[in-house]
Structure 1
Amino acid sequence: MKKLLTPLFCFVVLATSAQTTSLKKTVNTKADALKDKVIAWRRDFHEHPELGNHEVRTADIIAKHLQSLGIEAKTGVATTGVVGVLKGGLPGPVVALRADMDGLPVTERVNLPFASKVKTQYNGQEVGVMHACGHDSHMAILMGVAEVLSSMKKDLHGTVKFIFQPAEEGAPVGEKGGAEEMVKQGVMENPKVDVIFGLHINSQTEVGKITYKPGGTMAGVSDLQIIVKGRSAHGAYPWSSVDPVVVSAQIISSLQSIVSRNINVTENPAVVTIGVINGGSRFNIIPESVKMQGTLRYFTDADEKLITANVKRIAIKTAEAYGAQAEVLIPYSNKYPVTFNDEALTAKMLPTLAATAGKENVILRPPVTGAEDFSFYQQKVPGIFFFLGGMPKGGNALTAPSHHTPDFYLDESGFTLGVKALCNLTLDYMAGKGK
């Protein structure tokens, strides 16, 4: 029997490989033809950004596009998420592809004809809204992928699940949302997902390049809140007070010793940052309390526990030393696991990225202390999260505006590579699984 099966097996493999090669040629042609359409989608999203759990207009555009392609689309997932299911004509695995949808409370400063002028309320304040992290490009790219793959539906060896996710930047305080909520609502089931791929545009990586890292690629994150309670007094009579401003200053300074004196940074990076400090209402009144908020970043469970314990100890004991009290809440509203690229899957799919972008343009990168809730999907199935260049050619990564800033800018010519990369990862995984 072996002598009969072996040549038949080889024939099936060769036929599958030849078919995949043909499909990938189609991907190149169709992705190039979609370039202007993808850019137009991105510009529309950019001009009309919406904050997390409020992506109503955005979701409607995405759902209608998927439905126009004959893709079954479910809306209202985890508040405003959209999930499309494309069933191929041939049996095979279920490949999930994900894009995030939310903008940020940032007022745009870039002089573009499609710059955001949107204003809204956020945490009780009027703020501008901007796609200052590139989620507009992620959605446009995945819409392009959906159009390409749906056109070859009968030749697909498996099913593609398109996940358009709200609130990646974190749901508003008191609300649920993001990848964690989508997983809880069953996005990885019915049909059950085998593998997931995602990308993130990067404004400080040259267009045409892809960067990646096996294993821990983006940090785990917990936000924190510290409230220091003292005793109020007239600013002219500080000896009558227990000054929470002075105590808070001491706490902030002491927190910096956690990474510099407790974490082995030669093995894994870590970050302790206080980004918000609020207290007082007048220059000559020592307030009764001060509220601080910040973020912790880490790459191992051990480092997370160590950092969390030390933040609590330093804040509480420092406050006690000054006669004050400190309340510490970690996490305060959000916590994401480490974004971990399955090492075996990364090794398997790396040739696909190299063939798509050119081997010289696929670059191993160090871990990133930014965080991503894509990690919740990777806790369920193997996944790869990679970075797509969005900086103009010849730009300086050190001076290019970074993400989450009013001057964030993307070179749109790199979007087509994103469409091709996600399509080819899907096709090659399906072909490899079939073998």
Structure 2
Amino acid sequence: MTSHSDAPTTPTTPTAEAAVGAFATEAEALRADLVAVRRELHAAVEIGLDLPRTQEILLRELDGLGLEITRGASLSSVTAVLRGGRPGPVVLLRGDMDGLPIAEATGLPFAATSGAMHACGHDLHMAGVLGAVRLLAARRDELPGTVVFMFQPGEEGQAGGRVMIEEGVLDAAGERPVAAYAIHVDSATPQGQLVTREGPMMASANALRMTLHGTGGHAAFPQLGIDPVPVAAQLILAVQTFAARRLPATDQAVISITRLSSDSEASNVLAAAVHLEANIRTLSMATLDTVRDQLPALLAGIAEANGCRLETEFIASYPVTYNDPAETREVLAVLAELVGIDRVTRLAAPSMASEDFSYVLQEVPGALVFVGAAPSSGPMPLHSERAVFDDAVLPLQASVLAELAWRRLARGGQSA
């Protein structure tokens, strides 16, 4: 990382024993650097899979640290491998890179002006992982294994994590990681609070696209045609009640109509077709299978009963983000030791939002942890044009990631 201060950034006693628990102090020495690069990344936000400016900043910050660096072939990803001086397994740390197509309205001096925005905190994610790189690289000789740093574009709906896996990120070190960790900031959680849970952490996200065909006609004579619009209203009501009547009350699912349009372009013309899309959030494959099998059949029956024809297409997207229970219990114990049990929360129920770190966790046991980054002005929702994150949390992010990687490497190949 380009130095932005004269603070020392290397330990005075580089021993394996000194590393355990010492990263927090060393991360504080990086605070000014981490904040500076986070704000640079925030202002230079890009969206999707092609993030050339973001990639350029990351490569600059990683230069000179003795890493094996690979760029993505079909996306602007960065994979950096740090090989320790002592034998041991491989651990992966992930930081996502992309922003959202939202015009920023925070009024921050480093606000983005391009019409895109880091409204989900990915700028902090990158800076936090960069901090972990610095902390671990400073102790390379004592590092008991190898760390793969995964900087991933396209988290916001483009499945960049899946693409990086297809391009070989999990094999970048020559052997598969024994564990993978990621931290996600939350602007609605008190600053410095760490939150995670065993098992399902976040929901899967899928979609059902529908085209409802009628016949169209003159708005003055609806009896002469088949108007699909009122039938679409029935479909919407059926979607909204499906989870409540087809799934157990203990089985969480959220199904929402998110898109609705017709092909009519005049107020006196009945539509011949209506296009709808439902967003489907579930926490298990069994529930998703029920929705995928039964919901289209139900809706097609309603359409047919009204003289219409329904075409459906199921769009698979992010799977459930599943925290390995054994690994997560170890993570919870480490977090409690580092920051105190009062700052660690075991989430009672999963979030119905989704995360494409789920693709990594399908292949490698590990955990996603949320860290509170609410500003002093009060909680802010993610994905808002006014979302503000307190970047004072960056040293905590960096030190927790470094600590989790070190502790897992120190355990060797044994499972948690």
Tell me the TM-score normalized by structure 1: 0.87
Question: After alignment, is 279-288 or 383-392 more displaced?
Answer: 279-288
Could you report, residue by residue, the CA deviation over 1:289-336 in whole angstroms, capped at 9, with x for unpaired residues? Answer: 1212231111111100111122211221121122111111111xx412
Please state if 1:34 is matched with 2:30. yes
Cα distance change of structure 1 residues 253 and 233 upon mapping to structure 2, 3 Å threshold: same
Question: After alignment, is 285-294 or 374-383 more displaced?
Answer: 285-294
Aligned partner of residue 248 in structure 2, secondary structure: coil
Selected match of 2:160 from 178, 181, 184: 178
Q: What is the letter of the counterpart of residue 83 of structure 1? A: T
Aligned partner of residue 335 in structure 1, secondary structure: coil
Query: Deviation at 1:394?
Result: 8.2
**Residues of 2 paired with 1:361 and 1:107: CA distance?**
33
Could you report, residue by residue, the CA deviation over 1:216-238 in whole angstroms, capped at 9, with x for unpaired residues? Answer: 11112212211112122232322
Equivalence map 1:64-143=2 (5 Å): 64-118=60-114, 128-143=115-130
Aligned to 1:386: 369
Contact 2:48 2:156 in 1 (8 A): yes
Aligned to 2:136: 149
Q: What is the letter of the counterpart of residue 147 of structure 2? A: V
Q: What is the letter of the counterpart of residue 225 of structure 2? A: S
Query: Deviation at 1:20?
Result: 4.2
**Corresponding pairs, count:** 397
Selected match of 2:269 from 285, 288, 292: 285
Aligned to 2:256: 273
Aligned to 1:200: 184
**Residues of 2 paired with 1:43 and 1:303: CA distance?**
41
Aligned partner of residue 245 in structure 1, secondary structure: helix
Aligned partner of residue 307 in structure 2, secondary structure: coil
Aligned to 1:409: 388
Query: Deviation at 1:284?
Result: 2.6
Cα distance change of structure 1 residues 245 and 407 upon mapping to structure 2, 3 Å threshold: farther
- Overall identity of the aligned pairs, in %: 34
**Residues of 2 paired with 1:235 and 1:401: CA distance?**
46
Q: What is the letter of the counterpart of residue 34 of structure 2? A: V
Q: Which runs of 4+ in 1 moved over 6 A?
A: none
Could you report, residue by residue, the CA deviation over 1:175-196 in whole angstroms, capped at 9, with x for unpaired residues? Answer: xx51112112211112321110
Cα distance change of structure 1 residues 264 and 77 upon mapping to structure 2, 3 Å threshold: farther
**Residues of 1 paired with 2:102 and 2:289: CA distance?**
32
Q: What is the letter of the counterpart of residue 432 of structure 1? A: R
Aligned to 1:12: none
In structure 2, runs of 5+ residues without a counterpart are 1-13
Contact 1:315 1:328 in 2 (8 A): no
Equivalence map 1:359-374=2 (5 Å): 359-365=341-347, 366-374=349-357
**Superposition RMSD in Å:** 1.8
Could you report, residue by residue, the CA deviation over 1:16-74 in whole angstroms, capped at 9, with x for unpaired residues? Answer: xx954411454223210111221222212221211111211111211222223221110
Cα distance change of structure 1 residues 20 and 214 upon mapping to structure 2, 3 Å threshold: farther
Tell me the TM-score normalized by structure 2: 0.91
**Residues of 1 paired with 2:202 and 2:17: CA distance?**
32
Contact 1:231 1:287 in 2 (8 A): yes
**Residues of 2 paired with 1:151 and 1:265: CA distance?**
51
Contact 1:132 1:404 in 2 (8 A): yes
Contact 1:206 1:391 in 2 (8 A): yes
Q: What is the letter of the counterpart of residue 375 of structure 2? A: P
Aligned to 1:221: 205
**Residues of 2 paired with 1:290 and 1:45: CA distance?**
41
